[in-house]
């Protein structure tokens, strides 16, 4: 999934201009921060096929894997969250804002960096949580 979903990121050069940079996830993989996974079982494949009728392939794969492996799904996609939370699936989800809240609570030095991190995400990823996001109010307080 990562190969199709995340190929580039945006950053700022020395003059503050936004530039596109190829995303290299090797360090994150080597540290164990992320792990590449694929649909491995017939149950995952069957669930993926069912979900792909209603969701984009990436979201369908992610939900199928999270459901069958008992994992929590990180997604900011409202439709994917609705499907994940359905009575048939009951997959736990977290959003970007929720992950940042948890990260900030783990260490006081993280809390000091939160305004900068949130601003970089808003600027470089062009991301802001939707009103129905569980972390929407927190995000807006940080941005204020």
Mean pLDDT of all residues in 24-45:
89
pTM summary value: 0.82
What is residue 5's predicted lDDT score, i.e. its pLDDT? 62
Mean pLDDT of all residues in 103-116:
90
Task: Compute the C-alpha angle 18/22/24, nearest 5°.
Answer: 125
Say if residue 108 is exposed, middle or buried (CB neighbours under 10 Å; 0-12, 13-18, 19+): exposed
Mean pLDDT of all residues in 39-58:
94
What is residue 91's predicted lDDT score, i.e. its pLDDT? 96
In this structure, the chain runs to a length of: 144
What is residue 119's predicted lDDT score, i.e. its pLDDT? 93
DSSP output for 22-82? E---HHHHHHTS-------SHHHHHHHHHHHTTS-HHHHHHHHHHHHHTPPEE---HHHHH
What is residue 23's predicted lDDT score, i.e. its pLDDT? 85
């Amino acid at each position: 999934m990562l190969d199709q979903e995340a190929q580039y990121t945006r950053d700022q050069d020395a003059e503050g201009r936004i530039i596109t940079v190829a995303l290299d996830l090797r360090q994150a993989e080597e540290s164990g921060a992320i792990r590449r996974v694929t649909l491995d079982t017939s149950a995952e494949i069957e669930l993926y096929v069912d979900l792909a009728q209603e969701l984009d392939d990436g979201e369908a794969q992610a939900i199928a894997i999270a459901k069958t492996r008992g994992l929590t799904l990180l997604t900011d996609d409202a439709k994917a969250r609705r499907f994940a939370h359905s009575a048939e699936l009951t997959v736990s989800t977290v959003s970007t804002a929720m992950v940042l809240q948890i990260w900030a609570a783990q260490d006081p030095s993280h809390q000091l960096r939160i305004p900068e991190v949130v601003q970089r995400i808003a600027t470089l990823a062009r991301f802001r949580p939707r009103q129905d996001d569980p972390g929407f109010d927190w995000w807006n307080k940080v941005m204020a």
